[in-house]
């Protein structure tokens, strides 16, 4: 019985640092996201999308954390066959940390990746 009391006490103590740490997430536009982009990985055009001549824009909603890494993302729109390639690439992107009032903040925004098959063969244009 005594060990349960200690366990409960340890759990309470471990949870204290998390109290009040909910971070503000500020919405930013695509231009601001691009200005902070420090490392970009181009998506690989999926072979089945090439064969089926699928083109289009994949729009992703992302949350960039305090360190500049993509913490989460979800698909807003885009061809199904291109979505995974977009997500795999964007997950590897890094951004210079965003600041507000001198403090580092997390941000949310939209990233659009344009998959385009050009006249010369297979190409990829990303905005």
Residue extents of the structural domains in the chain: 22-115
CATH architecture of 22-115: 2-Layer Sandwich (3.30)
Averaged pLDDT, 101-121: 86
Residue 5's pLDDT is 55
Burial of residue 20 (number of CB atoms within 10 Å: 0-12, 13-18, 19+): exposed
pLDDT for the residue numbered 2: 60
| Predicted local confidence at residue 10, as pLDDT | 53
More confident residue, 23 or 52: 52
pLDDT value at residue 20 = 42
Alpha-carbon distance values, 1 to 10, 12, 30 (Å): 15, 17, 56
Higher pLDDT among residues 86 and 21, named by residue: 86
| 100-116 average pLDDT score | 94
Say whether pLDDT at 51 is over 70: yes
Q: What is the pTM of this model?
A: 0.74
The yes-or-no verdict on residue 54 having pLDDT over 90 is yes
d(CA 99, CA 94): 15
Q: How far apart (Å, rounded) are the C-alpha atoms in residues 30 and 60?
A: 11
pLDDT of 118 reads: 79
Render pLDDT for 66-95 as a digit per residue (tens, 0 to 9): 999 999 999 999 999 999 999 999 999 999
């Amino acid at each position: 019985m005594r060990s349960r009391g200690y366990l409960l006490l340890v759990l309470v103590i471990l949870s204290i640092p998390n109290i009040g740490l909910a971070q503000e997430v500020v919405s930013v536009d695509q231009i601001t996201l691009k200005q902070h982009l420090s490392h970009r990985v181009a998506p690989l055009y999926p072979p089945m999308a090439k064969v089926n001549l699928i083109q289009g824009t994949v729009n992703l909603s992302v949350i960039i954390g305090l360190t500049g890494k993509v913490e989460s993302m979800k698909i807003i729109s885009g061809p199904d066959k291109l979505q995974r390639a977009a997500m795999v690439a964007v997950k590897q992107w890094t951004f210079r940390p965003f600041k507000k009032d001198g403090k580092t903040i997390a941000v949310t925004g939209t990233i659009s990746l344009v998959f385009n098959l050009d006249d010369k063969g297979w190409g990829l244009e990303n905005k």
